[in-house]
Amino acid sequence: MAIERTFSMIKPDATKRNLTGAITKVFEENGLRVVASKRVWMSQKQAESFYAVHKERPFFGELVEFMCSAPTIVQVLEGENAIAKNREVMGATNPAEAADGTIRKLFAESIGENSVHGSDAAETAAEEIAFWFGGNEIVG
Ligand code: UDP
């Protein structure tokens, strides 16, 4: 298996409830090392740009508003098969459908306010990491 990097966000519903450490602990327990991390309060423009792929979806406005409602932790996670591993550890988008032990099952409040984001493929991981981090901010 290859060592990969993926992009993660701990979303506003989770930072508001002081779950940054608890969620990061789940990453670390599952072999995902935090090689970059910062706290950002994103602007509407940043949220619209980051989630541009969803701009025609009915939930887009709500999603942008939610992502700007409180701080977010943006992170780069590194490990074996990190992209798929992180998706597995996150659980299904809707916490009602998420498997036991996953972050969304443990912590998410709803399909929208679902505590974490994680890249879904190698190409999006590279784009999303570059969206938030300069190369010198990632320390492997
Ligand atoms: N989302 C939402 N309503 C929906 C589907 C998605 O509010 O019906 C939000 C939710 O925060 C989700 C994000 O939009 O995490 C991106 O959706 P995607 O389908 O890419 O899910 P993910 O990759 O985050 O599991």
| Residue 34, beta-bridge partner list | 77
Any known ligand binding at 87? Answer: yes
| Residue-wise pLDDT tens digits, 123-136 | 999 999 999 999 89
Is there a binding annotation on residue 57?
A: no
Token readout for 73 is: 């932790």
- Which residues have C-beta atoms less than 6 Å from ligand 1? 59, 63, 93, 111-112, 114, 117, 120
Residue located via tokens 């599952």:
30
Residue whose CA is closest, atom 17 of ligand 1?
93
Please give the backbone phi and psi of residue 5, each rounded to the nearest 5 degrees, phi first.
Answer: -120, 145
3-state secondary structure of 37: strand
Enzyme catalytic residues: 117
Contact 72, 58 (CB under 8 A): no
Q: Give the CA-trace dihedral at 55, 27, 41, 94, to 10 degrees.
A: 40
What is the Å distance from ligand 1's center to 9 Cα?
Answer: 13
- Residue 136 annotated as binding site: no
ipTM: 0.98
pLDDT digits (tens, 9 = 90+) for 74-117: 999 999 999 999 999 999 999 999 999 999 999 999 999 999 99
pLDDT digits (tens, 9 = 90+) for 9-28: 999 999 999 999 999 999 99
- Pocket probe mutation, ligand 1, options 63, 64, 72, 87, max atoms within 8 Å of Cβ: 63
DSSP string over 69-110 = SS-EEEEEEEEETHHHHHHHHH--SSGGGPPTTSHHHHH--S
Q: How confident is the model at residue 1 (pLDDT cuts 50, 70, 90)?
A: confident
Q: Which residue has the tokens 């999303």?
A: 128
How many helical (H) and strand (E) elements, i.e. helices and strands, does the chain have?
7, 4
Cα 90 to middle of ligand 1, angstroms: 12
Q: Ligand 1, atom 25: nearest CA belongs to which residue?
A: 93
